[in-house]
Copies of this chain bind each other. A is one copy, B any other.
């Protein structure tokens, strides 16, 4: 009986919030710009805009700038505090379950309580915050490539490899805010160069845009095979363009990339057994062809009980962060 009451109250939460407040802000704090979104409670974008990220003096103006921009927008749209269910914020660094940022190097931030600070700057408005990659995963689950699923691993193949894990609709924050840091799982014992994190052999060294470029340069050096990659700039985009054109050496590089990423995702599947992997970031612009290289090593090595995980491309692009940040408030 008691549980029923709790259940009904929780189930009714979003609807009740709808009655009480009609908007939610989603904020994605990047090293250069802060993306801001104003959403209705169904996830429709009412407005979105950007402000510069002022990182000087340990980023002390970033939160005041955000608070100010929110207040200006509210005034512009004649939205009062009572109309706002809350403000969600994604930041590039570990954030624990209490809203404490442990460090955000790109913003100049050391450890502090973001949730409390921003709540104060916003005169008591509700604030939720999380790591940007985790928050983006929530965005893709809500309105992107992972729609309809509750257990999802989002993989962002950009300059680095980011990850976000959602289990039963909740972000896996981790004990020290480092849950889903899948770019730094160890996948190669014989690597001689260190990753940006300091360790040699991280997934990021082979599956990021930078990693694919590195694999391509190594392949070009190790073989004298003809390849379109020998003329022009070597990049992840160039590699997958060449793969589509049937370039043999580029296909070898794609296979090497796929071996690392496919086996890595197989391990992740064995740990959290997600319904779906959602692949985003710059590299994912290559499209579904990526799956031709990721899936075979995944299927070959993954535990049979976890084999049914789906693969999809992310669809929200750079907006995943503001969507997920907004969604955090509605959780």
Chain B residues with CB under 8 A of A172? 167, 272-273
Interface centre among A2, A13, A97, A179 (most CB of B within 10 A): A179
Contacts A2-B16, A9-B6, A175-B151 given; indicate if A303 touches B271 (C-beta within 8 A): no
Q: Is the CB of A186 within 8 A of B6?
A: no
Q: Is the CB of B303 within 8 A of A197?
A: yes
Question: What's the least CB distance linking A152 to chain B, in Å?
Answer: 9
Question: What's the least CB distance linking A10 to chain B, in Å?
Answer: 6
Q: Which of B179, B201, B273 contacts A176 (CB 8 A)?
A: B273
Report how far A267 CA is from B16 CA in the complex, Å. Answer: 41
Q: Is A178 an interface residue (CB 8 A)?
A: yes
Chain B residue at minimum C-beta to C-beta distance from A273: B174
Q: Is A254 an interface residue (CB 8 A)?
A: no
Q: Report A's interface with B, CB cutoff 8 A.
A: 2-3, 5-6, 9-10, 13, 16, 94, 97, 102, 151, 165, 167-168, 170, 172-182, 184-186, 197-199, 201-202, 263, 266-268, 270-275, 300-306, 308-309
Q: Is the CB of B201 within 8 A of A301?
A: yes
Report how far A3 CA is from B97 CA in the complex, Å. Answer: 17
Report how far A168 CA is from B172 CA in the complex, Å. Answer: 9
Q: Is the CB of B175 within 8 A of A275?
A: yes
Contacts A2-B16, A272-B174 given; indicate if A263 touches B167 (C-beta within 8 A): no
Q: Is the CB of B185 within 8 A of A303?
A: yes
Q: Is the CB of A185 within 8 A of B6?
A: no
